Structure 1
Amino acid sequence: MMKNRNVIIKPVDKNNWRDFETLFESKGGPHYCWCMAWRMTGEERKNNTTENRKNLSNKEWSLKSP
C-alpha cells in the first residue's frame, strides 16, 4: 500500500523549469517524450532525439511567464 503523499501540480514556467526537468529525467515514461511528441509531425518525431525534445520543451516553457 502506498503512503499518502502531498502532490503539488503547477503550470510549468521559467521559474519552476528545474522541477519539471527533475521529473522528466527520472526513471519511467516521461524521459523519452518531454511532452513534445504530440507537438511534432511523424517525420519530426522519427528524426528527433531526447535531448532535442528537452531543448524544445525548455524553449517553449521559457517563453511563458508565471
Structure 2
Amino acid sequence: GLGRGGLVIYNSEYWTGWPISKAHLTNTNVHEVLHALGLDHPNTDLDGDGTVEPYECVQTSYGNKPIMCSP
C-alpha cells in the first residue's frame, strides 16, 4: 500500500566533526521531508546486474543526481 505520514529525526551524533554546506543541509532536509511524505529513492539498475544499489541513479548531463537519490 501507499505509506502515509512519517517522522523525521535529526541526531547530531552523526553530524559531529565534519563541515556541511548550507546547500547540502537544505538538500538533506528536503530529502528527509519527502521520505516522511512517502517518497522512496528513485534508484535504477544502471549496470544491469539485477540489483539496484544505492548509488545507481540517473544523472543529468551536469552530473547531478535527483534529490531523492540514495547516495
- Give yes or no for TM over 0.5: no
Higher relative contact order (CA 8 A, sep 6+): 1
TM class, shorter-length: 0.3 to 0.5
TM-score, length basis structure 1: 0.33
TM-score, length basis structure 2: 0.31
Q: Specify which structure has the higher proportion of helix.
A: 1
